[in-house]
Structure 1
Amino acid sequence: MKRIRAGLILTVVLMSTGALAAAAPAGKPAADKTAEEPQIAGVEIPRPNGAFLGLEIVRNNFVLSFYDANKEKVAPDVARATMRWPVKYQPTDERTVLNPGGDGTSLTSPKVVRPPHNFRVFIALFVEGNDSAVETYSVDVRG
């Protein structure tokens, strides 16, 4: 009887300190959410339809990638995009048009974006046959 009582006391003490919980086998290990959730390259821009855009500067050119609600890359649902950003080397803003890239999931610009890449860019998305922007964004670029 004394052994059972001593064993119960030891179990209660170990459980209260967490030592027993660490030694006991845990059911399923906690899932690492960062490893499972896809990452959006560059600046993540949420869209009104639940999808996402990813804006990055690759080799000094803008790349605007398109993602669905699950953050998987998809084909662009717009024909082109325009971008405008302020620069210090001239009084007017720089501008460029992004057209479909070679990968089928992005729009890219042929214009070189001179460093430093520390500015606010204004983005307008256009569908084929419409001169009015269907979506507009204002995004800070740092890097």
Structure 2
Amino acid sequence: MSTENLPEPAPGDDAVSAELIAASLRADTADLEVYARVLSTSLIETLPPGAVKLERKRSLADRAAGREGRVESVDVSLGEQRMTLRLEKHGPVGEICKEVRGIVLSRQKVGLDVWIETLSAAIAETARDNARARAILQRFVLGD
């Protein structure tokens, strides 16, 4: 993802802010198929194992060529939040769920911007609690 228009972190600020994360996540949303592929790869590399699940659709050509197929949805679970982004024909559809021990207590459909803001806040919280996640996230956001 491109980092040329991202805000600079404050001097001495070792935590990556939710705003900086959101700017990174918004950087390449023009082509949603490419965005979903880049986003899913970035999230899988950045977040704890098992936090990101992908749903892919494989065409006959994908199967014949041994490709994974196109990302149809990205599902991220952090703490008690589950954030799902589905790429549908009319555009992206986000969903934010509060989930406790596998039981969904609330579910809200949201637009892409709200989904990114919620995901960014959850990632920032995870980074505050986990030194390894913080280091990986700083490399993702800042390109270090």
Structure-2-length-normalised TM-score? 0.26
Between the two structures, name the one with larger relative contact order (CA 8 Å, sep ≥ 6). 2
Bigger-Rg structure (1/2): 1
In terms of fraction of residues, the more helix-rich structure is: 2
Structure-1-length-normalised TM-score? 0.26
In terms of fraction of residues, the more strand-rich structure is: 1
